[in-house]
Structure formats: C-alpha cells, structure tokens
Amino acid sequence: MATTMIDTRTLQATARIERLREAKFAREARDGQRNPRANPHVLIAAARSWQETTGETWHIIRRARRIAAILDALPVEIAPDELLVGRLPLGETDAHMEAALQEARAFLATQPPHKGQSAHMTLDNELILRRGLAGIAADIRARVAALDLADPDDQAKERFYAACLMALEAVGRLAQRYAAHAADLVAAEADPQRRAELAQIAAICAQVPMHPARTFWEALQAVHFMTYAVQAGEELLLFPAGRMDRYLWPYYERDIAVGALTPAGALELIDCFYILMNELVPRSLAVGVMIGGHDATGREVTNEMSYLLLEAVAHVRMAYPGVSICYRDDTPEALVQRGCELLADGLTHPAIFNDAVITRGLIELGVTPPEACEYIHSTCVEITPIAASNVWVASPYFNLVQMLHDLIGVPPLNAGPAWTPVPPATSLATFDGLLESYRAHLGTRIMEAVRVQNAMRRHRMRHGGHPLLSCFVRDCLQRGVDIDEGGARYSWIECSFVGLANLVDSLAAIRQFVYAERRWTLAELAALLREDFAGDPAARELLLHRADKYGNGIAAVDELAVHVIEWIVDECARYRVVPDGRFVPGLFCWVMHERLGRETAASADGRVAGFPLADGAGPAQGRERQGPTGAVLSTTVWDHTPMMGGLVLNLKFSRTHGDAKQVASFRDLLRVYMARGGLEMQINCVDSETLRDAQARPELYRDLVVRVAGYSDYFTTLSRGMQDEIIARTEFRN
C-alpha cells in the first residue's frame, strides 16, 4: 500500500490557476457554454459534409468524413496562461456565418435523430498513452492486411477500419495545427517565461496524441486532447477521465525521479486539466475522476498522485470533475481524512464509493475480475467499465410514485381528460392486493421500457456509427465492428427508478390510514391527492407527521423498501437488451426527481403537488427524525450490489470551518455506511441561510457549488424548484 510522501495541503493554488479560473467564468458569462451539439463550427461542417457525401455507399465512411470535416474546421485557440490546450472555440460570427449556421440547422433537422444514449464512458487512455494514434493506426493497418476481401464480412470490416483511420488522421491534423499555432505565438510573445511555455506546448502537441507520451505533461495533454477531439468530432458529451492516479502514475514517478517535475508543478498541471474539463462539460451535466481502490491483484493502489488529484479540488473549486474516492477498509486513513476535510470546508468533492460492492456487482454482470476493478461513475453515480463500455445510462427514468397513482386513480399533473387509471391486477381490498397490483404494474412498465430501448439500439445500428470513438473502446478494433453495431465488450442498459422514499412512505401511510385505521378509503385518499389536500390541510399534516417514515431505522417501513427493491431487481433481470446485454437497475436521479416531481400530484406521504421527489436511495426531504445514523441504517437494509445503475445517500450538514469533530463524524458515518454495503455517499456542507441568500443575490454566488443528486452543480443556475428542494433537505448539526 502506497502512502503520500508529501503533505499536499501545503501546495497552494498558483496565481496562474486563479487567473484561469476567473477567465473561465468571464468567458462563460460573455460567450455562453461550449457544447459541440450547438457549436456553429461543428454544425456547419457537419451539415456540409453530410450533404457532400450523400452518394457514399458505406454509412460508416460518411460518418468518418463528417468527423474529419468537423475537426478540420475547428479554429485553434490557446488562451493566456494555459499549459494544456484543446478548448471548443466560439469565435466571432458574421452575417455570412450566421446564414450558413441557419442552413446547417435546417438541413440537420431533416436527418434521422440520434436516438438513445452515447458516451458516459472512459476512453482507453492507457492505450492512447502507450501506443499513440500512429501506433493504433499501425495496428489497424495490420488487421486490414489480414482480411480476406473476398469475404463479405471482411469487406465490412475493411470499410470500418478505413473509417477509423480517416478519423485518426483528422485528429493528428488538429494536433499539428495546435503545435503550429503555439509556435507562432512564441515569436510574438515578449515574456520569456510564457515564451518558453508556448515552445513546450508546441513540442508537446507535435508529440501527442499522435505518438506515445513520454512525460507527465505529455500524458495529461494527450488524455485531454483526445477527450476534446472525440467530443467535438463525434458531436458527443461526457467522457470522464477515469482512474488518473493509475495511468498517470508511471509518468509522474519517472519525471519526479529524474528531477523533471516537482509535486507542485504536477499539481498546477492537474489544476489546468480540471479547469479545461469545465470547458468541455455544459452546466447541469457531469464527468468523473476516481482515485484509490484495488487493482486486479487485490493490491490497494493509492499513491501520491491520488492525493494530488484530490487536492486539486480545493484549488479549482468548480463543479467538475466529480472527484471520488474508491473506499475499502484498507484505504489509507490520510486520504479519507483529507477528503472529509474538504467536505467540511464546504466543497462537494469527494464522493465516496464502495469499491468492494461495485467490484462484486460488476462481476455479477459478467465483467471479468481484472476489469471489474477498473470502473468509473460515468457521470454522476452510474457505474460503467472503463475502456470497454457501450453501456447506456438512465435509460429510462421511472417515476415510482406515479405507478402507485396509476392504480388508485391519481393522474399526473396536466395529464388531460384522456388519462385513465391502470386496472389493478388483483383486488385492492387488502394491502397485500395493493402490493401485488403494484408489482404487476411495475413489471409492465419495465417490459415496455425494454422494448423502447431495444428499438433505439436497432435504430442506432442503422443510423449511428462512431469510428473515432470505437478506436478507444474494447473490442471494437479487435472485432472490426463499430461501437453502435455491437463492437463494445459490455453493452447493458442502465435504467433508473426515482422516488423510492416517497413510494415507501406512501405505502406505509396507506397501510396505516386506509387498511389498519380505516380513516379513509382508497378512493377518498385519491380524491385528497388529486385536490392537493385542498379544504383538508389536516389530512396532509396527518400523513406527513403521524405515519412512520423511511430513513429512521424503522423495520416495518424499511421492509417495504426491501420489497420494492427486490421487485425492481427481479423484473429487470427478466430481460435482455440488444446486442447482448442486460437491463440493469439503479436509483440515479440527476435532476429528474425535481422534473418528475413537478409532474406528480400530491402523494400519500404528505408531499404536496409539484414538489420534487426524494433523490437517490435516501429519505425524502426533512424526514430524518433519528439523525444521519437513521438514514444510513434504512438505506442499507437492502442489497446495493445489483444497482450498478447507481444510487446515492445524500446528507446535508451545516458548514463549520476547521471543525475536527465534524470531520471525525463524517469519517465515522461513511465507515458505517460502507461496512453495511452502501454503494455511495455524498455530503453537502452548506447552511440553508447561505442558500437563501444565494437565491436573493445570485450575482454574489456565481461559484457556489452544491451536491444535487449524484453530481455537483452551481446553485444559482439550478431551477428554483431544485434550489428549494436542496434547501428543504434536513440539515444536520454537530
């Protein structure tokens, strides 16, 4: 087990990082967010290429030419102070370009839509660093030479490989343009230090990603540049950087040994990398970096790089990346301690993931043991294998509360007169009958969702194609098959169930007030819910405060959660998805608990119409009556192992700077949660008073970051409903 040799807390953010951070916020305020799906350079080049290649027989070649056209059209930018380059340009748009942009949008709107998920995966960064694009291209040419072009299947492989080579060459041209631009800037730069930096940038871009990385700086540049190129060229989003403390460690260790790098210099480069990640990710999305955990031999892998990657959170103080610790009992205490200190200081990273639970869950899904230790939270909390994934996440979201409403006659808000209740599978005269009918309805909804997802997968096989991305996803090149046609090693679909706590609390209240005390009939309760408790506010108070609630360690309530989770797992396990995957559940919410709550009538747990549903796996907002320990106990009464679609226990604490007691309480809580099999825990350390002031004066809180439901975001850019939901969460005090 490696331990840190330096105290990273002594390494302060440099003036360069503060300037880059301020420049990022100023650029976003001036130009907006940088999204390849809306970028004028990308859209114009994509439309022109697609129009020019209508006569091409092979769809995959059309896709490659489109990628090349986009990458060739991108202007290159190197901003002051940047040490790593590759940022989606915006630039000035004149009347001619605006006209071309409108034509491009009109044309692209007529093309088949991009159905289903993409990205949410980590590229094979080790391959990129070890072989470089030139080496990968050489491997592809060797595969082509071994084909029998009289074989129709090999003919298709040859065209796929041709598309891959075309895309790789375009990335190489883009890198060379950056190298040339940096060299041009050298001649015009007066400051000797910056001139030397620009010369180094030029040399690095001439080396990577086309050729293997030799230094830590080159390795960081290669990883970032390929992420940028894939996002822009493939018109995709969300490629987390993965296990950086693993693949960067050899370069760091070697550079430190020969005196070419210092820990402070490495941390400044990591800070630059993190800031550029924020350039690649639009607001309300996420990408992740994981540190620690075990390798395929069972060895704990934390090293000095792990601590530097964690410390960069305090330097950058931005929403992305979502840095997370992969926790086991032998995770170094110093790493856990520093993570808890950052959380107590009001930062929202790190999240803590259970390495043993996730590894076991992936093995149960068919991932080989050596690969099961190489996973990533693909954006928020969804788990996908690194470098081998065509896993679709959050596909789709299910509203658990509305399924109950469907049975008892409570329509969604604004449903219209055409809505009708779902006929129950059995009589609702008993509580067991209600549960049986709920499970049947849940099963029907899951079956319908699988059919939709499989249809979208087949649509992508016909209309998709990602030849650049496929170069970095095992086993696309080995099979000679694009990722959209089934080339990836792992291709399950992860769905997500929202509102677990509201459903459980509603069932507990119905069991008590309808079936035990007979205070209302189901029809009378449904009428109260449809009317949002109008005319009977006492009924809401009764449901909200007299019925027992999930999140307090009450066995009779928690048992209902166990039943619901078992139903979900069993129903999902019945199905297979195209081409050879499974339908994998999770309780991942992102922002959907607010969006779905906005569409959902009042519920039997006392929640009012339109209010957000509970996020993740924890209790609903403000219902923890036994403190955070009760929330931990309830959340871990059921098995998290099958839930590779992701789940989280969110906890909110008051912020107390430098409070050693609070840090210790965080450590104790996460140890209990992990020991009981919890998959992931994350903490908000912010006062409700601060959040309310941010609502009133958002201009003073542009960089206030909060945990939402599996990811972090800027509080002032969230919807008012989401802001109110975060404020409503129980705030624990030490």
Confidence of residue 658 (pLDDT cuts 50, 70, 90): low
pLDDT at 700 over 80: yes
Pair type for strands 705-707 and 351-354: unpaired
Residues 309, 324: contact at Cβ < 8 Å? Answer: no
- Judged on CB neighbours under 10 Å (0-12, 13-18, 19+), 707 is buried
> What pLDDT does residue 734 have?
60
Q: What is the pLDDT of residues 593-645, one digit of tens each?
A: 999 999 999 999 999 999 999 998 999 998 988 889 999 999 999 999 999 99
pLDDT at 352 over 50: yes
Instruction: For 37-74, give the secondary structure using H, E and C.
Output: CCCHHHHHHHHHHHHHCCCCCCHHHHHHHHHHHHHHHC
The mean-pLDDT minimum among 63-72, 459-468, 686-695 falls in 686-695
Average pLDDT value for the chain: 94
Confidence of residue 654 (pLDDT cuts 50, 70, 90): confident
> What pLDDT does residue 1 have?
42
Angle, alpha carbons 33-34-38 (nearest 5°): 105
Complete DSSP assignment for 465-477: --HHHHTTSTTHH
Q: Which residues pair with 497 in a beta bridge?
A: 398
% of the chain at pLDDT higher than 90: 83
Arithmetic mean of pLDDT, 210-223: 98
Arithmetic mean of pLDDT, 671-699: 92
Complete DSSP assignment for 357-419: HHHHHHHHTT--HHHHTSEEESSSS-EEETTSB--B-S-SEEEHHHHHHHHHT-PPTT--TT-
Arithmetic mean of pLDDT, 576-590: 95
Task: Tell me the CA distances in angstroms from 124 to 119, 222, 229, 708, one per residue in order.
Answer: 13, 12, 14, 29
Arithmetic mean of pLDDT, 471-494: 98
Neighbours of 440 (CB within 10 A): 17
Report which of 50, 158, 34, 176 is spatially closest to residue 103, judged by C-alpha positions: 50
Q: What share of the chain is helix, strand, coil (3-state, %, to 5)?
A: 55, 10, 40
What the block records as the tokens of 630 is 């009760």
* Rounded Cα–Cα distance for residues 37 and 100 (Å): 16
Residues contacting residue 81 through CB under 8 Å, at least 6 positions apart: 16, 19, 20, 23
> What pLDDT does residue 2 have?
47
Q: What is the pLDDT of residues 450-464, one digit of tens each?
A: 999 999 999 999 999
Confidence of residue 686 (pLDDT cuts 50, 70, 90): confident
pLDDT at 65 over 60: yes
Arithmetic mean of pLDDT, 149-165: 97
> What pLDDT does residue 92 have?
67
Confidence of residue 712 (pLDDT cuts 50, 70, 90): confident
> What pLDDT does residue 91 have?
61
Q: What is the pLDDT of residues 380-408, one digit of tens each?
A: 899 999 999 999 999 999 999 999 999 99
- Which tops the pLDDT comparison, 211 or 1? 211
**Helix, strand or coil, per DSSP, at residue 583:** strand
Residues contacting residue 628 through CB under 8 Å, at least 6 positions apart: 651, 669, 732
Report which of 412, 606, 575 is spatially closest to residue 504, judged by C-alpha positions: 606
> What pLDDT does residue 495 have?
98
Residues 200, 217: contact at Cβ < 8 Å? Answer: yes
pTM over 0.85: yes
Fill in the amino acid letter for 583. Answer: F
Confidence of residue 4 (pLDDT cuts 50, 70, 90): low
* Rounded Cα–Cα distance for residues 58 and 19 (Å): 48
Q: Cα torsion at 419, 424, 428, 432 (round to 10°)?
A: -130
* Rounded Cα–Cα distance for residues 708 and 595 (Å): 13
- Judged on CB neighbours under 10 Å (0-12, 13-18, 19+), 257 is exposed
Arithmetic mean of pLDDT, 102-118: 92
Phi-psi region of 346 (alpha: psi -120 to 50; beta: other; left: phi over 0): left
Report which of 165, 128, 169 is spatially closest to residue 143, judged by C-alpha positions: 165
% of the chain at pLDDT higher than 70: 98
Report which of 287, 286, 350 is spatially closest to residue 323, judged by C-alpha positions: 350
Q: What is the pLDDT of residues 510-545, one digit of tens each?
A: 999 999 999 999 999 999 999 999 979 899 999 999
What the block records as the tokens of 595 is 């969006």
Pair type for strands 649-653 and 731-732: parallel
